[in-house]
Chains A and B, each alone.
Chain A
């Protein structure tokens, strides 16, 4: 088992005719991902890397049975691309686009949640269920080497760190069930606690490793889920960015931030709330396998 994607996932690539879409599609096909369709309006009827291109996601769903979408479109168009996929009934939508305008992100996320689909991203470099399905650029040209199959669920706010985490686990003789780069933009489709909830329900994941950063409320939400008993599997967390606390913060602009954000979203505050909720805090990458050995 795994979360969200496996060997049966049928993938449509939105923006397959662009550079990055085509680049990743090639590597994903080599990996064995079942990419069944591409979408670029106006390019319907063409083939890219042997994959048929359609003008709409709906056509890709109707003709090829696509149930997972990967999006490579510029920030200006990504809101519509996500909404199109959600409306076409796509179950899992992965949006690699970064720096998405905040109002667009909010609208796209609302649309996917309303449609009960899972949006991964914005600003994700992909996800992988080793040996079965890879979406996005994750692992580059060495996905097999970096991500070996195993029983640890990984959820990272940083795309690049997902590889470092997987290599650390691999070198310690462990592997991952599914590794997801959940997205690094301020607004993401789903939050860290929701991904942890999927791993909690996955019988083939024994523990959850997360990588967090300052800003956002993801880690605090995960801590709340742990404290509420919604997550019972061991959680090992590595939170980077403590150095930021050594530098003075700028003068704030207006009063909104003080009234609507958590008072403290620093790395050390996140470590503290997670530890209090029962998570195991890794001080370094090398600490992660050691903590897993203790709890498993």
Chain B
């Protein structure tokens, strides 16, 4: 989950890091009050969990009550990078003498630290044009990373003088914060030094690990907030599946809509990807992608079936599992039949192809046989057989619809 700037900064402030003063505004009046209270130059920023806000015009540098009011009026209600702007962060500008960059992330199996004495918005350009200015370092999880290790890296990155010791301590502290937060990335850009040589965490981006939310009650509520990752872009059906997925434990389900007309209920990451590729190769267009982990609860599976049937674009459905190995097949069909009961879908005109083999397959087949029109493929059928049949049937159904 990507944290918005206010949450990331509040969390870091709590841990004792030095950040510019700032606060959240939800109306132009609040933004104006905050700007007046902070005094001097301020930044008014859209609080959305996305990067490239500056380039999208969602960060305004200004001074005074009126300018802040105007900027807030502009920004609130706007859509930036796919997110609706509902809240703003109004923050005191720091007099920056020097801009640096510091980031933690993962590369392969190891956490990685990336630093540069040349911070700022064009850090990626620096990385391409002047790779020597960027120092990256693998962090061995079971080995101590001490402040003096960080000092050596900052020295390599060209930092010098009294800043070095401060950078060493800060980097060490931020690694601890990165771990404590279960961070996926923690990026400070710019990491600013003022003219007195004090360091300030000016730009802060933090993405935390959804898989570790169980030990972070402080963020669990935010996980369902509408402005989390893709939250605004997600439609009602996608959001409903995500809510059920997050609120019920057990195997994960994911559902995202696309612009085609063949609904996909495909399990197992790999086989799902392959079937999606094959549908496109066969001339079909999926209406959605799903990723179903082993053993989701019947409720979760039904929620995905419901979303597929409620999507007005969906005209056919492929239930394409690989050879089930850890879950009973009848559970899948139970969820399908239950969803068919709740939705105005008739498999005699809305093609449904099922390729589900494995434990409790006999029961699954008996259950599916009660619904006329479901094509339950025989054991010998390959993944490609299922894909070819659903593409063929959906094209035939479309042709019928066109002539009638």
Give A contacts to B, CB under 8 Å: 20, 23-24, 75-76, 98-107, 109-111, 114, 125-126, 137-142, 146, 156-161, 163-164, 167-168, 184, 186-188, 191, 211, 213-214, 216-217, 238, 240-244, 246-247, 250-261, 267, 284-286
Contacts and interface: CB of A to CB of B under 8 A. Distances in A.
Shortest beta-carbon contacts, A-B, top 3? A158-B270, A160-B268, A160-B322
B323 A160 contact: yes
Given A256-B104, A259-B124, 12 more contacts: A101-B211, A103-B179, A103-B182, A125-B294, A158-B268, A158-B271, A163-B325, A184-B270, A243-B277, A253-B50, A255-B103, A285-B382
A67 B189 CA distance: 48
A20 B230 CA distance: 33
Given A109-B109, A184-B269, A250-B82, A99 B211 contact: yes
A106 B382 CA distance: 37
Interface stretch (B23-31, B61-69, B70-78, B110-118): B110-118
A186 B384 CA distance: 28
Contact of B103 (A99, A107, A142, A256): A256
Contact of A163 (B179, B323, B359): B323
B304 interface: no
A106 B109 contact: yes
A101 B270 contact: no
Interface residues of B, number: 70
A254 B109 contact: no
Interface of B: 2, 49-52, 81-82, 101, 103-112, 114, 123-124, 127, 134, 136, 140-142, 179, 182, 184-185, 187, 189, 205, 207, 209-212, 214-215, 230, 252, 258, 267-271, 273-274, 276-278, 280, 286, 293-295, 321-326, 358-359, 382-384
A146 B323 contact: yes
B110 A160 contact: no
Contacts of A186: 106
Nearest to B136: A260
Nearest to A252: B51
B52 A160 contact: no
7 contacts: A20-B326, A102-B182, A102-B212, A158-B268, A158-B269, A250-B230, A251-B82
Contacts of A161: 268, 270-271, 274, 322
Given A110-B142, A260-B136, A243 B209 contact: no
